[in-house]
Amino acid sequence: MNWRYLLPYAAILALAAATAWYLHGASLPVLDPKGPVGAAELRVMIITVLLCAIVVVPVFILLFYFAWKYRAGNTATHVDHSPDWDHDNWVAETIWWLVPAAIIAFLAVLAWQSSYALDPYKPLASAAPPLTVQVVALDWKWLFIYPEQGIASVNLVEFPADVPVHFELTADAPMNSFWVPSLGGQIMVMPGMETQLNLMASGVGDFSGSSANISGDGFSGMAFTARAVTQSEFDAWVQSAKDAARPLTLDAYDALAKPSSYDPVSLYAAPDENLFETIIDRVMMPADGAMDMNNDMNMDMPSMPGMDMHSMDMRMPMPVTTAP
Amino acid sequence: MNWAALIFGKLSWSVFPDNPIALGGAAFMVCCALLVLALITYAGRWKWLWSQWLTSLDPKRIGVMYIAVSGVMLVRGGIDALLMRAQQATSVGASDGILAANHFQQIFSAHGSIMIFFVAMGFMFGIVNLVLPLQIGSRDVAFPFLNSLSFWLFASGAVLINLSLILGDFSTAGWLAYPPLSELAYSPTTGVDYWLWSLQISGLGSLLAGLNFLITIIKMRAAGMTPMRMPVFVWSVAGSMSLVVFAFPILTATLALLALDRTLGMHFFTAGGGGNMMMYVNLIWAWGHPEVYILILPAFGIFSEVVPVFSGKKLAGYFSMVLSIWAIVFLSFLVWLHHFFTMGAEADVNAFFGIMTAVIAIPTGVKIFNWLFTMYRGRIRFYTPMLWFMGFVVLFTLGGVAGVVLAEPPADYQLHNSLFLVAHFHTMIVSGVLFGYFAGITYWLPKIFGFRLDESLGRKAFWCWLFGFILAFGPLYILGFMGATRRLDHYAAGLGWQPLFIVAGIGVLIIALGFAFQVAQLVRSIRQRRTALDTTGDPWDGRTLEWSTASPPPAHNFAVLPTVHSLDAFWAAKQEGTPADVRYEDIHMPKNTGAGIVIAGFVFLFGFGVVWHMWWLAIFGIAGAFISALVRTFAEDTEYVLSAAEVEAQEKARGRAPALMPL
């Protein structure tokens, strides 16, 4: 046997060993979730991989077995060689249509059920009432508004552990995607639209978050911290923000919204009432006169009956306008 | 009136690159181009190049030119990849790495655009040009001139996208340029315009080529080649070209709408003003997902030729293979939304598209089983095409599992836009598309050039690509689980990502070594071609019609058009003995013409004019293209006739002796 045949296998083994050594102790938040959403999403991944293995393992075995056994150099199998053999065999053919189809059928059920169960808009089951946090992706930082607490923060979202957090998200910037891998999956964050996401931490801790969608020069500096604390720590944090921080008036917001990245954590008190809705409205109707809607488009959005600009939701159909 | 702006549009002295790396790239490219021009002049090859190659309407030569352009573009895209990994390996914590954020973003946008539009598409159309007419027993494609025009539009797009290295900048909005980032408000420079118009021009070429090959398959098959006697490669090209014909108009329209936004201040996809960015994202993926199958189906077709020939056996499950191609064609239009499950759509929308995506794994799995059972009871010769196949099955299957995982919407929520996703689609496109095309090029170049490629260097190239790939993309799967997103030019030190980025960078270097081996393989094979001549026209003991003619084939492919009586027609003919009765006929062939270059050149001027707002040049370009197309349309003297006597004399002179393609 030629030792060179073993070289690829040795290389693969060495790679696997090096990988295992490196991963020992590494932080893999997707595989080590700290909340029920991330845990359920990981479960979907694992079930899928195991079901796929039913097909993949035989494929690997057959590939190498056939390649070895029927190599031209192996004269022992030449008697088997039949150039026109087409396994004219509907049974075999049917098997390799049906086996993958059966697996995909299982996966389809999984996709359907898990899409509903893990719908990012779906409130999480919990005895505790949810905390609402409004998220605005800015160039290039995250603004978190706590409408119930009357505070706001930049690049830090703090919340009590074991309490569902209901995020409402929009952007005053190009499209972003909000991701805290330790807690669970993403939702896109788009200007002029609102999306929603529900997450919960099962224990206290600091989790890193980021934007997963390119949004311009400072995009890499959009990292933020999601911090799960105890209820009393959270209450103290809210109070400290109220006591010490400046109010987030519309002017203060406009200053904050100017492009910058790698911004340090900062806290604000008393965000402008309806700031979140105002941000969405302003994107929809630029105030800088970039376009005059009344004249150019025969569209008078604010006075249009039946249309509530404050609920321009990703799941709402776009308003249909008609010329007067 | 500002005359300078009227004449030069947005061009000014400040458009040249302003940082050393970009300047170096521009200088390197200019030097390479000048070197090539100087070499051609020194060798006195201009006339030969013009009359034998650039103006040729012979699909075999157009195919070689496609592959040559794509090879050069692969170098460009590869250098981009190396720079990206160099940045990510060095830009951690306090260090900013070697590139500015904006430059890094230009590089990954260029990498993706170039690799898909100018490498993968070019290799694909190149191989189809080389093989398809021969394989269906035809002398040419349905529209020979259109074929040349398609190639030159593709080449114009390639020149335009590379011009952004020298004049101005490139898009920073990623390879699909999602608005509103790609809108004027956030991308005010000409970068996105370069992207738009180079894709628009090459996309037009792709659409024309798609129509041409589809009609070629429908109308130009040899007598007796009923659909169910077509080689599977022909079926796969038929599927792929059907997708081109249906999908590329969507791309054209979408790019046009974005161009209207950017150039004429419209609001299709802007943030505000009534624009809806998600409309763009839907439209671009309604093209973008079929595009993946446009690339992969011909690769499947190549493996369906390579595996039977090197296993010395008929392809297992021909009917299943054909059925699965069309299942994939159909399903590929029903999955586009899986690229943005995280948009916030309702659960039933996500579930539908997730299920449809997973369903595509069924026909794909069937194909893999059929290839495996083609090997069963075969007599397998492990030439390099077969190695590429083995590598493909291993990587593609694993990447496919990652794909099925991503097809489950909740799993995608966690992995969307992470490096896991990047690793997944590179696995599919490198191991599926590129490995397939490399197998095809190694398999068919002896037919086109008349000699085999060097095996030993080909093997070295394969092992470098395989292990380079594992090193380059294995770490990316892990980085995705670590929470690393794509397109980061910088990350915090405490995340533990740096060693993996360094390993990934080493992987890219090994892939580059693999490519160097491929170049060396080509050079050595050309230099030593006399030792590996294919004198029989059938170096691999092939099964399909292309192996029945000489290597290289005459311009008219077949002195006598073949008649087909069964699947694997040439194999059957070899088994039964070749018929002796040969009747030569006059052959009508298209004359070479430079019209394709001229029209594409005008279109290039149009593109350049629009990018830089030099409106006189844009009008001149579009008018020139239109008029030269009209002139060509009414040209009458476009054919020549090779009399039956000449054909006979040529064949007698040739005997079975090789006539090398003039290199």
pLDDT digits (tens, 9 = 90+) for B364-407: 999 999 999 999 989 999 999 999 999 999 999 999 999 999 99
Q: Does the pLDDT at position B15 exceed 90?
A: no
> Any idea which of A299-308, B96-105, B526-535, B568-577 has the lowest mean pLDDT?
A299-308
Q: Does the pLDDT at position A291 exceed 50?
A: no
Contact B496 A26 (CB under 8 A): yes
Which residues of chain A are within 8 Å of residue B314 when distances are taken between CB atoms? 83-86
- Are B249 and B584 in contact by the 8 Å Cβ rule? The answer is no
Chain A interface mutation, best of B106, B328, B481, B502, highest count of A Cβ atoms under 10 Å: B481
Contact B362 A59 (CB under 8 A): no
- Residue B642 belongs to what H/E stretch? strand B639-642
Chain B residue with the nearest C-alpha to that of A37: B410
Nearest to A197 by CA among A177, A211, A214: A177
Mean pLDDT, to the nearest integer, of B43-58? Answer: 95
- Residue B110 belongs to what H/E stretch? helix B101-113
Q: Supply the pTM of this predicted model.
A: 0.94
pLDDT tier for residue A23 given thresholds of 50, 70 and 90: confident
Domain extent listing, chain A: 28-72+89-118, 131-287
Q: What is the mean pLDDT of chain B?
A: 94
Q: What is the pLDDT of residue B5?
A: 84
pLDDT tier for residue A77 given thresholds of 50, 70 and 90: confident
Contact B379 A286 (CB under 8 A): no
Mean pLDDT, to the nearest integer, of A194-203? Answer: 97
Tell me, rounded to whole angstroms, the distance of Cα B586 from its chain centroid: 36
Contact A86 B495 (CB under 8 A): no
pLDDT in tens, B190-234: 999 999 999 999 999 999 999 999 999 999 999 999 999 999 999
**What angle, rounded to 10 degrees, do the helices at B435-449 and B277-311 form?**
50
Q: What is the pLDDT of residue B660?
A: 54
**Block residue for tokens 């429908």:** B218
Q: What is the pLDDT of residue A297?
A: 42
Angstrom distance (rounded) from CA A229 to CA A162: 9
Chain A residue with the nearest C-alpha to that of B379: A72
Angstrom distance (rounded) from CA B153 to CA B118: 11
Contact A208 B178 (CB under 8 A): no
Distance from CA of A252 to the nearest CA of B (A): 22
Residues in Cβ contact with B533 at an 8 Å cutoff, skipping those fewer than 6 apart: B450, B451, B658, B660
Q: What is the pLDDT of residue A300?
A: 41
Q: What is the pLDDT of residue A290?
A: 46
Q: What is the pLDDT of residue A8?
A: 78
pLDDT in tens, B421-464: 999 999 999 999 999 999 999 999 999 999 999 999 999 999 99
pLDDT in tens, B478-493: 999 999 999 999 999 9
> Higher-confidence residue: A88 or A106?
A106
pLDDT tier for residue A304 given thresholds of 50, 70 and 90: very low
| Side-chain half-sphere CA neighbours of B588 within 13 A | 5
Residues in Cβ contact with A233 at an 8 Å cutoff, skipping those fewer than 6 apart: A160, A204
ipTM over 0.90: yes
- Are A311 and A285 in contact by the 8 Å Cβ rule? The answer is no
**What angle, rounded to 10 degrees, do the helices at B191-219 and B144-163 form?**
160
Which residues of chain B are within 8 Å of residue A86 when distances are taken between CB atoms? 314-318
Q: Does the pLDDT at position B599 exceed 60?
A: yes
Partner residue facing B408 (CB), from A60, A70, A110: A110
pLDDT tier for residue B337 given thresholds of 50, 70 and 90: very high
Token pair belonging to A280: 């969405």
Q: What is the pLDDT of residue B581?
A: 62
Q: What is the pLDDT of residue B656?
A: 52
Partner residue facing A96 (CB), from B186, B366, B410: B366
Q: What percent of chain B has pLDDT over 90?
A: 86
Q: What percent of chain B has pLDDT over 70?
A: 98
Which domains are present in chain B? 10-593+638-654 (1.20.210.10)
> Any idea which of B296-300, B452-456, B573-577 has the lowest mean pLDDT?
B573-577
Q: What is the mean pLDDT of chain A?
A: 87
Contact A70 B412 (CB under 8 A): no
pLDDT tier for residue A211 given thresholds of 50, 70 and 90: very high
Contact A186 B471 (CB under 8 A): no
Q: What is the pLDDT of residue A321?
A: 44
Token pair belonging to A268: 């604000």
Residues 502-541 of chain B with CB under 8 A from chain A are none
Distance from CA of A219 to the nearest CA of B (A): 8
Angstrom distance (rounded) from CA B150 to CA B248: 14
Partner residue facing B496 (CB), from A27, A111, A187: A27
Which residues of chain B are within 8 Å of residue A179 when distances are taken between CB atoms? 483, 485
Q: What is the pLDDT of residue B124?
A: 98
Partner residue facing B489 (CB), from A11, A12, A220: A220
pLDDT in tens, A125-162: 999 999 999 999 999 999 999 999 999 999 999 999 99
B508 by Cβ neighbours in 10 Å (0-12 / 13-18 / 19+) ranks as buried
The alpha helices in A158-301, defined as continuous H runs, are 231-244, 250-257, 275-284, 293-296
Token pair belonging to B108: 């990954």
Q: Does the pLDDT at position A289 exceed 50?
A: no
Residues in Cβ contact with B234 at an 8 Å cutoff, skipping those fewer than 6 apart: B132, B135, B136, B217, B301
**Block residue for tokens 């490995």:** B435
Nearest to B541 by CA among B508, B509, B568: B568
CB under 8 Å, gap of 24 or more: what pairs does B645-651 form? B645/B584, B647/B556, B647/B559, B647/B584, B647/B585, B647/B586, B647/B587, B648/B559, B648/B584, B650/B554, B650/B559, B651/B559, B651/B584
Q: Does the pLDDT at position B334 exceed 80?
A: yes
- Are B562 and B548 in contact by the 8 Å Cβ rule? The answer is yes
A/B interface, count of CB pairs below 8 Å: 306
Q: Does the pLDDT at position A272 exceed 70?
A: yes
Contact A221 B490 (CB under 8 A): yes
Chain B interface mutation, best of A74, A96, A169, highest count of B Cβ atoms under 10 Å: A96
Mean pLDDT, to the nearest integer, of B277-284? Answer: 96
Q: What is the pLDDT of residue A85?
A: 66
Token pair belonging to A110: 């999984």
> Higher-confidence residue: A82 or A44?
A44
**Block residue for tokens 């395989």:** B466
Q: What is the pLDDT of residue A308?
A: 42
B254 by Cβ neighbours in 10 Å (0-12 / 13-18 / 19+) ranks as buried
Which residues of chain B are within 8 Å of residue A42 when distances are taken between CB atoms? 414
Residues 121-180 of chain B with CB under 8 A from chain A are 172-174, 178-180
Q: What is the pLDDT of residue A313?
A: 59
Q: What is the pLDDT of residue B68?
A: 97
Mean pLDDT, to the nearest integer, of B288-316? Answer: 96
Which residues of chain B are within 8 Å of residue A290 when distances are taken between CB atoms? 272-273
Beta strands in chain A (DSSP E): 131-138, 141-146, 151-154, 156-160, 165-171, 176-180, 184-189, 195-199, 205-211, 224-229, 246-247, 266-269
Angstrom distance (rounded) from CA B149 to CA B144: 9
Angstrom distance (rounded) from CA A207 to CA A182: 6
Q: Does the pLDDT at position A293 exceed 60?
A: no
Residues forming beta bridges with residue A133, ordered by sequence position:
A167
Q: Does B48 touch chain A (CB under 8 A)?
A: no
Q: What is the pLDDT of residue B579?
A: 61
3-class DSSP state of A198:
strand
> Any idea which of A120-134, B9-23, B256-270, B532-546 has the lowest mean pLDDT?
B9-23
Which CATH superfamily includes the segment(s) A131-287? Cupredoxins -  blue copper proteins (2.60.40.420)
